[in-house]
Amino acid sequence: MLTPKSIIENFEEIKKKLETRGPYGELIDEFREVTLREREKLRELEKLRAEKNKLSEQFIKHKTEGKEFGGIIQESKKIGEKINSLGEEMAGIAQRWNELITSIPNIPHESVPVGKGPEDNTVERVVGKPPDFSFSPEPHWDIGTRLGILDFERAAKITGSRFTVYFGAGALLERALINFMLDIHTKERGFKEVIPPFIANKDSLMATGNLPKFADDLFKLELKDYRWYLIPTAEVPLTNIYRNEILDGSILPQRFVAYTPCFRSEAGSYGKDVRGLIRQHQFNKVELMVFYLPETSFDELESMTSAAEEVLKRLKLAYRVVSLCTADLGFASAKTFDLEVWMPSRNNYMEISSCSNCTDFQAGRANIRFRRGPKAKPEFVHTLNGSGLAVGRTVSAILENYQEKDGSVLVPEALRPYMNGLER
């Protein structure tokens, strides 16, 4: 776990690893400086308190013996003022220390490719072949609008941009995909289905690493003295199921899957994917979440990625698996595999799932531990999460990859039982 002690004792090594993720050098330098200053001030405070305690003993002795003690009182008062002043200074240091420690990302795993951006990500494998159309394929937003199953204009009237109204077969397709994905993960992969709250508190978002770094990307809810957030992903409530708990190690691993709507302001993404279903403020997602033993968590990452891949294989959509480089990792992740589905409108691949091992980073922030035995020392679990899959993006991929020359869209065979037998 990335603790203050480990940062100070292994400073150069950790700084070097963090700098492969981005410009974190100054932040980690300041963290060390503030940590050492806090320790120095604490020693000063302890010394002053010891002096004050000594004066208190002298005061009692002088008073008992009838000796003059006015000087002792004055000296004690001066030390008390120094203690108060030092306490105020330390409060400011502590506040800055907390801001810094919560802004330090996870350490990349040694197997993660070092890079400066998405162009340095590594393609692990390519599965399936993109469709070969005898006509010029349409983008999904045109297909959905023409078929009357997606309505972006009326959604904008109701709420604003980056929302969608689904009608008829479009709504059925979205619902069918949710049930299809849940059935694969629960019936075949052993995940336990969960319906969590779609609203989370600040502590929950601090635990996953969404706060404070991604505060601008969250939708806030305020009511009197309460403040909540609409969840950006089910990872948030699922991770916090065991917050501040010590688990019996015999129950690990714990594998959960949840369908939830997700809400993101998409701060900083304006101008990107403004049309269609790709970057919406509200979207549906099926999320995988695992609490695992530290020594084999990276094997579990491979298994989780395979579970997400299975959905794409059943839908017969061409995709590739990409290992993200250090600079492209999410804040809490130590290693991430992205699944990218083929999109004819882009003539390229598009992310549809991100599967990450956060090691003990989130567990440390959320205080989630386990014991290997009744008297064993508690250890932090490893947490893993992944999309299994993003539903709206899967709808867009089906509309584009299964479109026909006559303007219709075929329904993937695996989905037809979930769509009352509808074939197109």
**pLDDT tens track of the chain, all 424 residues?**
788 899 999 999 999 999 999 999 999 999 999 999 999 999 999 999 999 999 999 988 888 888 888 889 999 999 999 999 999 999 999 999 999 999 999 999 999 999 999 999 999 999 999 999 999 999 999 999 999 999 999 999 999 999 999 999 999 999 999 999 999 999 999 999 999 999 999 999 999 999 999 999 999 999 888 899 999 999 999 999 999 999 999 999 999 999 999 999 986 666 677 789 999 999 999 999 999 999 999 999 999 999 999 999 999 999 999 999 999 999 999 999 999 999 999 999 999 999 999 999 999 999 999 999 999 999 999 999 999 999 999 999 999 999 999 999 999 999 999 999 999 9
189 included as an active-site residue: no
Q: Which of 162, 255, 369, 393 is catalytic?
A: 393
User: CATH fold of 4-101, please?
Assistant: Helix Hairpins (1.10.287)
Determine the length of the chain.
Answer: 424
43 included as an active-site residue: no
Name the region of 337 (left: φ>0; alpha: ψ -120 to 50; beta: rest): beta
Q: Which of 37, 175, 279, 372 is catalytic?
A: 279
CA distance 161 to 275: 9
333 included as an active-site residue: no
Q: Which of 189, 264, 365, 369 is catalytic?
A: 264
Candidates 3.30.930.10, 3.40.50.720, 2.30.29.30, 2.60.120.200; CATH matching 118-419? 3.30.930.10
Q: Which of 351, 371, 372, 416 is catalytic?
A: 351
* Span between the terminal Cα atoms of the chain, in Å: 51
Per-domain residue ranges of the chain: 4-101, 118-419
416 included as an active-site residue: no
Q: What share of the chain is helix, strand, coil (3-state, %, to 5)?
A: 45, 20, 30
CA distance 216 to 234: 18
Q: Which of 76, 345, 353, 354 is catalytic?
A: 354
356 included as an active-site residue: no
